Structure 1
Amino acid sequence: MSTPRPVLDWLLDADPALRWQVERDLAGAPPDVWEATRARVATEGFGARLLAEQDADGQWAGGAFFPSGFFGSAESEAPGQPWVATTWVLKDLREWGVDAAVLEGTAARLATNSRWEYEDLPYWGGEVDVCINSYTLATGAWLGADVSKLAAWFPEHRLADGGWNCEAEEGDSVRSSFHSTLNAVRGMLAYERITSDTSLREARHGGEEYLLSRRLMFRASTGEPVGDFVTRFVYPNRHRYSALAALDHFRDVALLEGTPPDPRLAEAIEVVRAARQRDGTWLQTTPLPGRTWFDVDAGEGEPSRWLTLMGTRVLDWWDSSAA
């Protein structure tokens, strides 16, 4: 599937955090072109704005997962949660392609100054929530922190059905969650890509099989759709699962491991294809509620550059493999 020229031009006329991925994944630009654009993320636009908000102690908004002063405040009673604290910012910067060297010293400052809101645990050791631990694993690998003990946490905390669930540690569930499992396998994949350590591959494959066995969208027990969140594509998706986010992960897996797409992805692919508008774009659904540093994508019901990038590259990957 070729990207319509007006859509490609629209995508290229974007922040460097998105533009370099468009150049690499859709426009076929040579590495020296998209790498030069990627280098600009730290000095222009979204990336530069987030970097400028870093506190002297290495954190953002004074906290690890929540901003300082959140608990007991009026904000804690509002829908959603704020997305301005350290873990969320580092996740964005990493996924936008910022060079870790730009954040030199941050890993050490967080080791000294940042503690999880849960039981005051040290930052790079993670805590009990699998989603939080997945972000920390990937970000620690990126920044050069020692996250070896955290890496060992993931195989130890897989559930019997193959995946993970953020509620399992509190004893509230023995069944895996689509959301938690996708976050876990994404974190492990990023860790492997950054470090070349394949020790988590077996556990990651187990989590991926959990999703594949359900064809990314369906309950194992009844075969019914697992929920409408699967087809509600949103960026930033933060922790939220969708068929598009899952397919983007499986594309990354295939590129790293040199494997073809699994046939069980076919139904999810058609859901993504059906959501494509006539002009070649995908629309933003309802953004997740909560305070942000600034907007990075379109409002509800508007064409989304980020979703269009993801949807296009997923379909290009699938269709080129089929061809």
Structure 2
Amino acid sequence: MTEWLRDSDPALRWQVERDLAHEPPEVWEATRARIATEGFGERLLALQDPDGQWAGGAFFPADFDFHGPEAAEDAGQPWTATTWTLNSLREWGLDADILRERRTAELLAENSRWEYENLPYWGGEVDCCINAWTVANGVWLGVDVTGIVGWFLEHRLPDGGWNCEWVDGSERSSFHSTLNSLKGLLAYDIATGGTDATRAARCSGEEYLLRRGLFRRLSTGEPVAPWVDRFGYPFRWCYNVLNAAEYFRQASLLDGTRPDRRMADAIELIRAARQPDGTWLQAGRQPGRVWFEVDAPTGEPSRWLTLFGTRVLAWWDSQTP
């Protein structure tokens, strides 16, 4: 299976070499450096606009019709605009210096505005998930995003997490919003060392998920929704237990902590989805316009999901008696 995973784009291959094959740094670092010059990374870099954006917009393409067929609820949203493209390049491991040489952060500060009230790009807006990605992309590119980090500390809900629908009065956290918020804060803590306040906020959000076993309703113990074990890559904004477990794996590496036993049932959902040949199947990405496909069709073995699943189970099994 490892050789099958190696036979992939540099964005995936370097992670296989580092995390599964345990190759020395000179091997996986050389593969990682190829992201900018071949495959998925090269293609996305070639699509950048002269003003620093992708598809002419911050969260939606410039040509997106908010009242047309593409805006229908079942149509999904386009995944081609600046934030989604930066997310991909960052998550794939592109060297941020490539975009710094292009003055991407500065160009976005000058030219990119959120579709919500025309707010400046690096200032964030009111959506938890959007702000989390802005934090992660900002620290990656060397932008001062402490203002948005402070926003997260102020907008944590009484039950410990976050919900993008707080603007509509929601006082109950969301699995989706909480996980994405945690990812943004973790990126900040990894890049800067964090603060007591950011670490406390992460602990609070983690506890929200852990009390629910990563997938259960606190009130009944039943699964919160069918999507908890629906694994599709790219993850985008969607919650599932594999996406959540990958966050906890990364957080444990930073914090030096062991896996929390309350994740055990969620880990077994991940293990149950593994096929006899050791792969995980693609459940299908969310609908919507993309630049190009980066993983297997629905129902076929997914290299990305197999990387995540294998890595999470290896972490759990090595740390949990």
Q: TM-score, normalising length from structure 1? A: 0.96
Match of 2:218 in 1: 220
Asked if 1:75 is matched to 2:73, the reply is no
Whole-Å Cα distance in 2 between the matches of residues 73 and 125 of structure 1? 29
Whole-Å Cα distance in 2 between the matches of residues 128 and 258 of structure 1? 32
Match of 2:297 in 1: 299
Whole-Å Cα distance in 2 between the matches of residues 277 and 154 of structure 1? 39
Whole-Å Cα distance in 1 between the matches of residues 38 and 201 of structure 2? 38
Match of 2:98 in 1: 102
Select which of 307, 310, 319 maps to 1:309.
Answer: 307
Letter in 2 for 1:293: W
Higher deviation after alignment, 28-37 or 123-132? 28-37
Letter in 1 for 2:113: R
Query: Alpha-carbon deviation of 1:322?
Result: 2.5
Whole-Å Cα distance in 1 between the matches of residues 320 and 194 of structure 2? 31
Whole-Å Cα distance in 2 between the matches of residues 228 and 286 of structure 1? 14
Query: Alpha-carbon deviation of 1:215?
Result: 0.5
User: Contact 2:241/2:266 (CA < 8 Å) preserved in 1?
Assistant: yes
Match of 1:193 in 2: 190
Match of 1:184 in 2: 181
Whole-Å Cα distance in 2 between the matches of residues 192 and 40 of structure 1? 27
Whole-Å Cα distance in 2 between the matches of residues 195 and 63 of structure 1? 28
Structure 2 SS opposite 1:268: helix
User: Contact 2:190/2:254 (CA < 8 Å) preserved in 1?
Assistant: yes
Whole-Å Cα distance in 1 between the matches of residues 124 and 48 of structure 2? 20
Q: How does 1:86-165 map to 2 (within 5 A)?
A: 86-104=82-100, 105-165=103-163
Select which of 248, 251, 276 maps to 2:249.
Answer: 251
Query: Alpha-carbon deviation of 1:321?
Result: 1.0
User: Contact 2:69/2:75 (CA < 8 Å) preserved in 1?
Assistant: no
Q: How does 1:163-182 map to 2 (within 5 A)?
A: 163-171=161-169, 173-182=170-179
Asked if 1:60 is matched to 2:54, the reply is yes
Query: Alpha-carbon deviation of 1:286?
Result: 2.5
Whole-Å Cα distance in 1 between the matches of residues 192 and 99 of structure 2? 18
Whole-Å Cα distance in 1 between the matches of residues 118 and 226 of structure 2? 36
Q: TM-score, normalising length from structure 2? A: 0.97
1:259-278 deviation digits (Å, cap 9, x = unpaired): 11100010001110010000
Structure 2 SS opposite 1:200: helix
Report the RMSD for the aligned CA atoms in angstroms. Answer: 0.9
Whole-Å Cα distance in 2 between the matches of residues 97 and 155 of structure 1? 28
User: Contact 2:47/2:54 (CA < 8 Å) preserved in 1?
Assistant: yes
Query: Alpha-carbon deviation of 1:192?
Result: 1.1
Asked if 1:49 is matched to 2:47, the reply is no
Whole-Å Cα distance in 1 between the matches of residues 317 and 249 of structure 2? 12
Whole-Å Cα distance in 1 between the matches of residues 154 and 218 of structure 2? 23
Select which of 12, 22, 34 maps to 1:18.
Answer: 12
Whole-Å Cα distance in 1 between the matches of residues 251 and 88 of structure 2? 20
1:201-235 deviation digits (Å, cap 9, x = unpaired): 11011001100010001011111110110010010
Whole-Å Cα distance in 1 between the matches of residues 92 and 149 of structure 2? 23
Letter in 2 for 1:17: A
Letter in 2 for 1:72: H
Select which of 261, 277, 280 maps to 1:279.
Answer: 277
Query: Alpha-carbon deviation of 1:82?
Result: 0.3
User: Contact 2:175/2:239 (CA < 8 Å) preserved in 1?
Assistant: yes
Match of 2:320 in 1: 322
Structure 1 SS opposite 2:140: helix
Structure 2 SS opposite 1:201: helix
Match of 1:4 in 2: none
Letter in 1 for 2:85: V
Identity %: 66
Whole-Å Cα distance in 1 between the matches of residues 146 and 320 of structure 2? 38
User: Contact 2:258/2:320 (CA < 8 Å) preserved in 1?
Assistant: no
User: Contact 2:157/2:172 (CA < 8 Å) preserved in 1?
Assistant: yes
Match of 2:236 in 1: 238
Asked if 1:31 is matched to 2:20, the reply is no
